[in-house]
């Protein structure tokens, strides 16, 4: 079984580790691919990041993707407009309105930590139904659990468990990510799977959330990059 | 009447089914066994609580800790395997060093792990 981590921040986007350090650690832990998540960059920086990713990809022989994480509505709109230029579109959750819009947008691949900085889970059943319809994966972010302690950790665990329960009920895709900003925050796939099991997923579902769901995103990327693709749901049939 | 020093072993149907988790610690600096043991128990207690920890039958096997390769084996019962693995993921520091746990193999017998991972050591 192949494992993927689709939410890793490098030094290009508020992270602390270089691409090489992150990829090397991911490879040691048994990942077949990772996605470097960045916040929207200037054109020049973006091109430099793409070149660096290609270089590291050849050096380590691991699948590496480039993802952009929208922090607000303006960034989301601008990223949706140029959706074909990068691989994965993530939306940083935490804002109720943004969570809802992310679930309504078929161009979005992953809604990251919808409960981020909130007392409530950040998602209701209508949003999750929309996420299922538009194939937007709901993330379980391990870093949130890792860096918190005591009461705040228990609140985060409760909220994540609630979101996973809704996603299970309405068959929305669930994805397990480390959310790491240094190579020391990457975690072994077995640890992520086990944490998801603790939060209410079946073992089989947890395994799918770290292998099959990312593979489906890979398929979508390949489809989007083909010349026949026009819009989500619209492509040229020969 | 002479009292025996050791308890009688449990009959097989009453014994717990065990799981042995072989792990490797990837760290900034070398890690001592004492740091590992203290932090493992602390993190487990913090996450699961005293009651939850008592249900796991956790044990870190001292004589199988390989300080050179930073590999070791932790034992628990089969019902609490996912809890222990989740807790291993929650250990981010051992002493002053940042660490990541790599899970090498999980087995129902210690022999299976020793054959695969500690060849020639014992």
Domain that holds residue B102: 17-115
Element (H, E) at A11: none
In contact, A190 and A178? CB cutoff 8 Å: no
Cβ neighbours, 10 Å, residue B56:
19
Question: Which residue in the set B82, B100, B102 is minimally distant from A198, CB to CB?
Answer: B82
pLDDT of residue B110 exceeding 90, the answer is: no
Instruction: Report the CATH number that the domain containing residue B98 is assigned in CATH.
Output: 3.30.70.3250
In contact, B58 and B84? CB cutoff 8 Å: yes
Residue B118: the pLDDT is 57
The whole-model pTM stands at: 0.92
In contact, B75 and B18? CB cutoff 8 Å: yes
Cβ neighbours, 10 Å, residue A107:
17
Q: Is A192 near chain B, with CB under 8 Å?
A: yes
pLDDT of residue B120 exceeding 60, the answer is: no
Q: Is A235 near chain B, with CB under 8 Å?
A: no
Report the pLDDT averaged over residues A133-137: 93
Compute CA A35 distance to the chain's CA centroid, rounded to the nearest angstrom: 8
Question: Closest approach of chain A CAs to the CA of B15, in angstroms?
Answer: 24
User: What's the mean per-residue pLDDT of chain B?
Assistant: 89
| pLDDT tens by residue, A82-96 | 888 889 999 999 899
Residue A173: the pLDDT is 95
Residue A224: the pLDDT is 84
The dihedrals phi and psi of A62, each to the nearest 5 degrees, come to -115, 145
Cβ neighbours, 10 Å, residue B52:
14
Quote the CA–CA distance of B12 and B25 in Å, as a whole number. 34
Quote the CA–CA distance of A190 and B23 in Å, as a whole number. 11
Mutate to test the interface with A, among B82, B92, B98, B105 (most CBs of A within 10 A): B82
pLDDT of residue B91 exceeding 70, the answer is: yes
In contact, A172 and A182? CB cutoff 8 Å: no
pLDDT of residue A133 exceeding 60, the answer is: yes
Cβ neighbours, 10 Å, residue A88:
22
User: What does the DSSP 8-state code read for residue A18?
Assistant: -
Domain that holds residue A19: 4-235
| pLDDT tens by residue, A173-221 | 999 999 999 999 999 999 999 999 999 999 999 999 999 999 999 888 8
Choice among A64-78, A216-230, B61-75 with the minimum mean pLDDT: A216-230
Question: Which residue in the set B83, B92, B102 is minimally distant from A184, CB to CB?
Answer: B92
Quote the CA–CA distance of A54 and A24 in Å, as a whole number. 15
Instruction: Kindly state whether residue B37 falls inside one of the protein's structural domains.
Output: yes
Looking at the structure of chain A, the number of domains it has is 1
Residues 6+ apart with CB under 8 A from A82: none
Report the pLDDT averaged over residues B83-90: 94
Radius of gyration of chain B, Cα coordinates, nearest whole angstrom: 16
Instruction: Kindly state whether residue B9 falls inside one of the protein's structural domains.
Output: no
pLDDT-derived band at B119 (thresholds 50, 70, 90) equals low
ipTM metric: 0.90
Residue B64: the pLDDT is 87
Q: Is A1 near chain B, with CB under 8 Å?
A: no
In contact, B17 and B78? CB cutoff 8 Å: yes
Angle between the N-to-C axes of helices A189-198 and B81-89, in degrees from 0 to 180, rounded to the nearest 10: 120
pLDDT-derived band at B61 (thresholds 50, 70, 90) equals very high
Residues 6+ apart with CB under 8 A from A202: none
Cβ neighbours, 10 Å, residue A230:
10
Looking at the structure of chain B, the number of domains it has is 1
CB contact under 8 A, B86 and A198: yes
| pLDDT tens by residue, A96-112 | 999 999 999 999 999 99
Residue B122: the pLDDT is 45
Instruction: Kindly state whether residue B77 falls inside one of the protein's structural domains.
Output: yes
Mutate to test the interface with A, among B44, B69, B87, B102 (most CBs of A within 10 A): B102
Instruction: Report the CATH number that the domain containing residue A207 is assigned in CATH.
Output: 3.20.20.140
Contacts of A149 in chain B (CB under 8 A): 46
Quote the CA–CA distance of B26 and B34 in Å, as a whole number. 16
Question: Closest approach of chain A CAs to the CA of B81, in angstroms?
Answer: 8
């Amino acid at each position: 079984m192949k494992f993927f981590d689709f939410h890793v921040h490098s030094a290009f986007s508020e992270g602390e580790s270089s691409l090489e350090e992150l990829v090397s650690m991911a490879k040691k832990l048994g990942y077949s691919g990772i996605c470097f998540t960045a916040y929207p960059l200037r054109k020049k920086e973006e091109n430099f990041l793409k070149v660096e990713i290609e270089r590291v990809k050849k050096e380590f022989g691991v699948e590496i993707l480039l993802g952009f994480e929208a922090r607000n509505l303006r960034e989301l709109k601008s990223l949706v407009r140029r959706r074909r230029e990068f691989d994965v579109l993530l939306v940083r959750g935490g804002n109720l309105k943004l969570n809802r819009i992310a679930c309504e947008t078929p161009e979005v691949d992953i809604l990251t930590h919808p409960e981020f900085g909130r007392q409530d889970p950040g998602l209701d059943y209508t949003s999750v139904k929309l996420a299922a319809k538009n194939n937007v994966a709901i993330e379980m972010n391990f870093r949130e659990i890792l860096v918190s302690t005591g009461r705040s950790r228990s609140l985060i665990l409760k909220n994540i468990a609630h979101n996973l329960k809704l996603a299970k009920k309405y068959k929305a895709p669930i994805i397990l990510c480390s959310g790491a900003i240094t190579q020391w925050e990457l975690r072994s796939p077995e640890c992520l799977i086990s944490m998801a099991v603790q939060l209410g997923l079946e073992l089989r579902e947890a395994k799918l959330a770290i292998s099959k769901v990312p593979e489906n995103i890979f398929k979508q990327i390949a489809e989007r990059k083909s010349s026949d693709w026009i819009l989500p749901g619209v492509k040229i049939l020969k | 009447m002479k009292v025996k020093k050791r308890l009688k072993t449990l009959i097989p149907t009453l014994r717990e089914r065990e799981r042995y988790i072989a792990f490797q610690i990837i760290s900034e600096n070398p890690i001592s066994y004492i740091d590992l043991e203290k932090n493992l128990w602390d993190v487990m207690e913090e996450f699961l609580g005293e009651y939850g920890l008592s249900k796991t039958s956790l044990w870190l096997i001292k004589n199988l800790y390989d300080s050179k390769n930073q590999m070791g084996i932790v034992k628990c019962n089969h019902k609490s395997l996912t809890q222990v693995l989740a807790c291993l993921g929650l250990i981010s520091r051992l002493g002053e060093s940042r660490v990541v746990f790599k899970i090498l193999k999980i087995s129902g017998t210690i022999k299976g792990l020793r054959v695969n991972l500690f060849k020639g050591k014992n």
